[in-house]
A and B are shown apart, each in its own frame.
Chain A
């Protein structure tokens, strides 16, 4: 019997019991849709994390002092550190960079107009901050080198702070606020940025780093020591080169060697990698759960096909008497199972893609449909159909026509 005729016969077999065929297919539908949605959800979560880390600024290298050098027992005095003046040196000597900036923060009460905001993060920084962090202004200007050199008491407000104190960005510029007991003039308001990781960038204020050292931290940390320096490379391609230069510069500044440099360089990629390994475990788990549901769907198909073979024993016997070879019978029942799972696969793909899309659009959760998951899930459905359909089909093909015809 030709393949197409067999396909038609198999289709008729399925149409014989529509409700049962539908329910059997459901297992595969759910399995396939689950694979696609689960992968889309975890890809969405990964993308979300990557976006947040990238929101720190592109191609960023973070310099942190490391205390591993010799330990406290052998090394007396403070650990090596960078100062405000070193920033200029780095900015001048490094090539292929967008800028170097430092951030030092403290928590203070802020008063503007009649409103007092408690425990606001006050960040001392340098002009390069906006470039390095790719962060725009909504109004006014940012801190300049002159501000740092002259320790001007000026402040740039986060978007929400401007709203809370003065009702808007444009209204805030030119006003003055008090940070702790010192009066600052508002020269600019940052654009909205929102949450990055756990930091709300709109709930911070920025002042010249030299002012921060002078007014808020000198007593505690002994001068203008920088805890963290950010270097932004021009592009992804220059990252390695910039890191090499930076290491050399820092070793020169610290007077250390490569064995124990006294600082650590971290890139966004390394942070993303660390996050990715977590989400990958999560994704694998979801993938396995979804895969298992697909297998369960396949077992459902096998179960129903076995029932179907038993129910249609007489039909099989008759077909054999009329000239159906064992392989004709095998193909007929195998095709029924494969058709069930492929229909389930198609509906599951539509449901999975549609569901992922709907989740994203409704804002419930960020999803990104993994293109490979569609053929993967569909292929898995086909394999499940063949795998779980084969046994019942061989049962049908091996029936003895005499016995089968006698069966009531």
Chain B
């Protein structure tokens, strides 16, 4: 049997207890192969953020298993999860989350600070950061601070930061949510480029045209997968139905 990069089985997440318990995920099953570009969609409250947090090892499932790159990470301690995040996951956030006082290069170097495996020197870290920035087309702006960069450029810095540790997977949470259409398209172009280079991407979005960049769309409703197909176009009807025909 072929090993999946991500394999989640009966993934359940319950917040609270007793009468006020909320079941955010109700036994989700899915697998993601290496090199896939997957979009997770769903109306608000569908559990897509919860799923994303668990996939990102920021949270642990209440029940079920999550195997990432051959390792069951569903029962790891906080310290072990931090290690997995550092080694295997690159995050791209809606609001970039760059530290304003640091240059682009220093921001990209941040994950390397916590890389307890490779023990890179400052010079090696810097070199890696510059490489990552060049790969997202920001080789010229390595010493600029976030406030000297456009939104699109800031998100590129964030993507470079996600790439710098050569993670198994990039998790993007509404990566274009804070960007204008043109910058958003550029970022998605970059994501597709990464996909073409073989990087595995999982992205949460609520925008159909953004989801169309992905190879496969998982649609969540009320903590359950209602659709999992390899073309975004077929999802439009479903999506519009849940969004009251808006869009």
Could you tell me which A residues sit within 8 Å of B by CB distance?
1, 5, 9, 12, 16, 314-315, 317-328, 401-402, 405
Q: How far is B110's CA from A398's CA once the two chains are assembled, in angstroms?
A: 20
Q: How far is B52's CA from A371's CA once the two chains are assembled, in angstroms?
A: 60
Q: How far is B111's CA from A322's CA once the two chains are assembled, in angstroms?
A: 5
Q: Contact at A321–B85, with CB atoms within 8 Å? A: yes
| B182 on the A face (CB < 8 A) | no
- Give 21 CB contacts A-B under 8 Å: A1-B113, A16-B101, A315-B99, A317-B97, A319-B110, A320-B58, A320-B82, A322-B86, A322-B111, A322-B113, A322-B161, A323-B82, A323-B85, A323-B165, A324-B114, A325-B79, A325-B83, A325-B114, A328-B114, A402-B53, A405-B93
Which A residues are in CB contact (< 8 Å) with B58? 320-321, 401-402, 405
Q: How far is B106's CA from A12's CA once the two chains are assembled, in angstroms?
A: 12
Could you tell me which B residues sit within 8 Å of A by CB distance?
53, 56, 58-59, 78-79, 82-83, 85-87, 91, 93, 97, 99, 101, 110-111, 113-116, 161, 165
Q: Which residue of A lies closest to B83 (CB)?
A: A323
Q: Knowing A321-B56, A323-B82, A402-B59 touch, does A314 contact B97 (C-beta < 8 A)?
A: yes
Q: Which residue of B lies closest to A397 (CB)?
A: B78
Told that A314-B97, A405-B58 touch, could you supply 4 new A-B pairs with CB distance under 8 A?
A16-B101, A321-B85, A324-B114, A325-B83
Q: Knowing A402-B53, A402-B58, A402-B59 touch, does A323 contact B97 (C-beta < 8 A)?
A: no
Q: 8 closest Cβ contacts across the A-B interface?
A: A323-B86, A323-B114, A325-B82, A322-B111, A325-B79, A318-B97, A401-B58, A323-B85
Which B residues are in CB contact (< 8 Å) with A321? 56, 58, 85, 91, 97
Q: How far is B82's CA from A5's CA once the two chains are assembled, in angstroms?
A: 18
Q: Knowing A12-B101, A314-B97, A315-B99 touch, does A322 contact B59 (C-beta < 8 A)?
A: no
Which B residues are in CB contact (< 8 Å) with A5? 113
Which B residues are in CB contact (< 8 Å) with A328? 82, 114
Q: How far is B119's CA from A5's CA once the two chains are assembled, in angstroms?
A: 11
Q: Which residue of B lies closest to A327 (CB)?
A: B79
Which A residues are in CB contact (< 8 Å) with B56? 321
Q: Which residue of A lies closest to B111 (CB)?
A: A322
Q: How far is B86's CA from A315's CA once the two chains are assembled, in angstroms?
A: 16
Q: Which of A12, A322, A326, A327 has the most CB of B within 10 A?
A: A322
Q: Contact at B79–A1, with CB atoms within 8 Å? A: no
Which B residues are in CB contact (< 8 Å) with A401? 58
Q: Among A16, A317, A326, A402, which residue has its beta carbon within 8 angstroms of that of B79?
A: A326
Which A residues are in CB contact (< 8 Å) with B78? 325-326
Which B residues are in CB contact (< 8 Å) with A318? 97, 99, 110
Q: Knowing A323-B85, A325-B78, A325-B79 touch, does A405 contact B114 (C-beta < 8 A)?
A: no
Q: How far is B93's CA from A12's CA once the two chains are assembled, in angstroms?
A: 24
Q: Which residue of B lies closest to A322 (CB)?
A: B111
Q: Which residue of A lies closest to B98 (CB)?
A: A318
Q: How far is B110's CA from A320's CA once the two chains are assembled, in angstroms?
A: 11
Q: How far is the CB of A398 from chain B (nearest CB, A)?
A: 10
Q: Which of B58, B59, B93 has the most CB of A within 10 A?
A: B58
Q: How far is the CB of B202 from chain A (nearest CB, A)?
A: 15
Q: How far is B86's CA from A401's CA once the two chains are assembled, in angstroms?
A: 13
Q: Knowing A1-B116, A402-B58, A405-B97 touch, does A322 contact B79 (C-beta < 8 A)?
A: no
Q: How far is B114's CA from A325's CA once the two chains are assembled, in angstroms?
A: 8
Which B residues are in CB contact (< 8 Å) with A322? 85-86, 91, 110-111, 113-114, 161
Q: Which residue of A lies closest to B79 (CB)?
A: A325
Q: How far is B78's CA from A326's CA once the two chains are assembled, in angstroms?
A: 8
Q: How far is B113's CA from A322's CA once the two chains are assembled, in angstroms?
A: 9
Q: How far is the CB of A241 from chain B (nearest CB, A)?
A: 71
Q: How far is B116's CA from A364's CA once the two chains are assembled, in angstroms?
A: 58
Q: Which of B87, B113, B115 has the most CB of A within 10 A?
A: B113
Q: How far is the CB of B126 from chain A (nearest CB, A)?
A: 13
Q: Contact at A9–B99, with CB atoms within 8 Å? A: no
Q: Contact at B99–A1, with CB atoms within 8 Å? A: no
Q: Which residue of B lies closest to A328 (CB)?
A: B114
Q: How far is B82's CA from A328's CA once the two chains are assembled, in angstroms?
A: 10
Q: How far is B57's CA from A320's CA once the two chains are assembled, in angstroms?
A: 11
Q: How far is B116's CA from A401's CA once the two chains are assembled, in angstroms?
A: 20
Q: How far is B148's CA from A316's CA once the two chains are assembled, in angstroms?
A: 23
Q: Which residue of A lies closest to B59 (CB)?
A: A402
Which A residues are in CB contact (< 8 Å) with B99? 315, 318
Q: How far is the CB of B206 from chain A (nearest CB, A)?
A: 17
Q: How far is B95's CA from A314's CA once the two chains are assembled, in angstroms?
A: 11
Q: Knowing A325-B82, A326-B78 touch, does A319 contact B114 (C-beta < 8 A)?
A: yes
Q: How far is B104's CA from A20's CA once the two chains are assembled, in angstroms?
A: 26
Which A residues are in CB contact (< 8 Å) with B82? 320, 323-326, 328
Q: Which residue of B lies closest to A408 (CB)?
A: B95
Q: Which residue of A lies closest to B88 (CB)?
A: A323
Q: How far is B53's CA from A323's CA once the two chains are assembled, in angstroms?
A: 14
Q: How far is B173's CA from A263's CA once the two chains are assembled, in angstroms?
A: 96
Q: Contact at B101–A1, with CB atoms within 8 Å? A: no
Q: How far is B91's CA from A405's CA once the two chains are assembled, in angstroms?
A: 12
Q: How far is the CB of A296 from chain B (nearest CB, A)?
A: 30
Q: Contact at A9–B113, with CB atoms within 8 Å? A: yes
Which A residues are in CB contact (< 8 Å) with B114? 1, 319, 322-325, 328
Q: Which residue of A lies closest to B106 (CB)?
A: A12
